[in-house]
Structure 1
Amino acid sequence: MSKLKNRYLSLDVFRGIDVALMIIVNSPGNGDTSFGILKHAVWNGFTLTDLVFPTFLFVVGNAMSFSMKKYEAEGSGAFFKKVLKRFSIIFLLGFLMYWFPFFENGELKPIAETRIFGVLQRIALCYLFASILLHYFKTKSVLIFSVLALVGYHIILLIFGDLSLTGNAVLKLDEFLIGTDHMYHGNGGVAFDPEGLLSTLPAIVNVIAGYLTGKFIQKSGQNFETIAKLLMIAGLLVVAGFAWDLIFPFNKKLWSSSFVLLTSGIDIFVIAVLIYLLDMSKPGKWTYFFEVFGRNTLFIYLLSELFIISLAEINMKGTTAYNWIADNIFIASAGDYFGSLLFALWIMFTCWLVGYIMDKKGVYIKV
Structure 2
Amino acid sequence: MPYGAGMSAKCANRIVSVDFLRGLTVAFMVVANNPGDTENVYRELVHARWHGWTAVDFIFPMFLFLVGVSVALAVRTDAVPSDLLPRALKRAGIIFLLGLFVNGFPFFNLDTLRIPGVLQRIAVVYLAALWLHMKLTRSGIVLTVLGILVGYWLLWTFVPVPGLGRPSMDMEYNLEGWLDQTLLRGHIWEYDTPWDPEGLLSTVPCVAMALFGVLAGRWLKSGDGPGWTVVVLMGLGLHLTGLAWNEWFPINKLITTSSFVLFVGGVGIMLTATAHRLLDGKVHGPWIAPFLALGRNALFVYVTSQLLTRVLYVTTLPELFCDGKTLHFCLFDRFFGMVGDKYVASVFWAVALLGVLTAAVMLLGWLRQRRVVR
- Partner residue, 2:363: 357
SS across alignment from 2:72:
helix
Work out the CA distance in 2 between the residues paired with 1:345 and 1:4: 29
**Stretch moving more, 117-126 or 4-13:** 4-13
Aligned partner letter, 1:84 = L
Matched, 1:31 2:30: no
| Alpha carbons 1:72, 1:135 under 8 Å: kept | no
Give the Cα–Cα distance (whole angstroms) in 1 for the partners of residues 121 and 283 of structure 2: 36
Alignment of 1:281-292 (within 5 A): 281-292=282-293
Structure 2 residue 118 is the aligned partner of structure 1 residue 119: yes
Q: Which residue of 1 aligns with 2:303?
A: 302
Per the alignment, in what secondary structure is the counterpart of residue 312 of structure 1? helix
Q: 2:23·2:291 contact (CA, 8 Å) conserved in 1?
A: yes
Task: Note if contact 1:331-1:337 (Cα within 8 Å) is conserved in structure 2.
Answer: no
Relative distance call for 1:70 and 1:324 in structure 2 (3 A) is farther
> One-letter code of the match for 2:342?
D
For residue 110 of structure 1, report the CA deviation from its aligned partner. Answer: 2.4
Q: What does residue 69 of structure 2 align with? A: 62
- Provide closer, same or farther for how the CA distance between residues 138 and 310 of structure 1 changes in structure 2, counting only shifts above 3 A: same
Q: 1:196 aligns with which of 175, 195, 199?
A: 199
Q: Deviations over 1:286-335 (max 9, x none)?
A: 11110110111111111111111111111133332223322443144343
State how 1:229-248 maps to structure 2 within 5 Å.
229-248=230-249
3-state DSSP class of the match of 1:333?
A: coil
Question: For 1:119-156, what per-residue CA distance to the aligned partner results, in whole angstroms no more than 9, with x for missing partners?
Answer: 00110111111111111233322221111111111222
Q: Does 1:7 align with 2:14?
A: yes
SS of 2:141's equivalent in the other structure is helix
> Gapped runs of 5+ residues in structure 2?
1-7, 162-167, 318-322
Among 79, 84, 95, which residue is 2:89 paired with? 84
Q: Is this contact kept in 2: 1:245–1:258, CA < 8 A?
A: yes
Of 323, 338, 343, which aligns to 2:329? 323
| TM-score, normalising length: structure 2 | 0.88
Note the alpha carbon deviations across 1:78-121, whole angstroms, 9 max, x for none: 2221121111111110011111113xxxxxx4211011001001
Query: Retained in 1: the 8 A contact 2:179–2:201?
Result: yes
Aligned partner letter, 1:175: Q
* Per-residue CA distance 1:212-243 (angstroms, 9 max, x = gap): 1011122135x9x6211211111110111011
Which of 97, 102, 107 lines up with 2:102 in the alignment? 97
Q: Which whole-Å deviations, capped at 9, do the CAs of 1:240-295 have from their partners, x for residues lacking one?
A: 10111111111111111111001111111112221222125444321111011011
Q: Secondary structure at the match of 1:196?
A: coil
Question: Which stretch shows the higher mean deviation, 324-333 or 124-133?
Answer: 324-333
Structure 1 residue 4, shift from structure 2 partner = 7.3
Given the superposition, is the C-alpha separation of residues 43 and 349 from structure 1 closer, same or farther in structure 2, using an over 3 Å criterion?
same
| Matched residue, 2:208 | 205
Quote the Cα distance in structure 2 between the aligned partners of 1:230 and 1:32. 41
- C-alpha distance in structure 1 between counterparts of 2:195 and 2:338, whole Å: 34
Q: For the residues of structure 1 that align with 2:279 and 2:172, how far apart are their CA atoms?
A: 45
Separation in 2 of the partners of 1:129 and 1:313? 37
Task: Using structure 1 for the length normalisation, give the TM-score.
Answer: 0.90
Q: Amino acid of the residue matched to residue 53 of structure 1? A: F
* Cα pair 1:29 1:327 within 8 Å, conserved: no
Using the alignment, how far apart are the partners of 1:131 and 1:347 within structure 2? 33
Q: Which residue of 2 aligns with 1:137?
A: 136
Q: Is 1:344 aligned with 2:350?
A: yes
Q: What are the Cα deviations for residues 53-78 of structure 1, in whole angstroms up to 9, with x where unaligned? A: 01111111111112112995313xx2
Structure with the bigger percentage of helix: 1
Offset, 1:160: 3.4
Q: Which amino acid aligns with 1:259?
A: F
SS of the equivalent of 2:215 reads helix
Alignment RMSD, CA only?
2.1
Secondary structure of 2:111's counterpart equals: helix
Supply the distance in 1 between the matched residues of 2:336 and 2:58 (Cα, whole angstroms).
27
Aligned 8 A contact 1:46 1:251 in 2: yes
Aligned counterpart, 2:181: 175
Q: Quick check: 1:15–1:59 contact (8 Å CA) kept in 2?
A: yes
Amino acid at match of 1:335: D
SS in 2 for 1:111: coil
Letter in 1 for 2:171: L
Question: 2:23 aligned with 1:22, yes or no?
Answer: no
Shift of 1:349: 1.0
Aligned match of 1:160: 160
CA–CA separation in structure 2 for the residues paired with 1:140 and 1:334: 56
- Corresponding residue SS for 1:30: coil
**CA distance 1:289–1:155, shift in 2 (3 Å):** same
SS of 1:315's equivalent in the other structure is coil
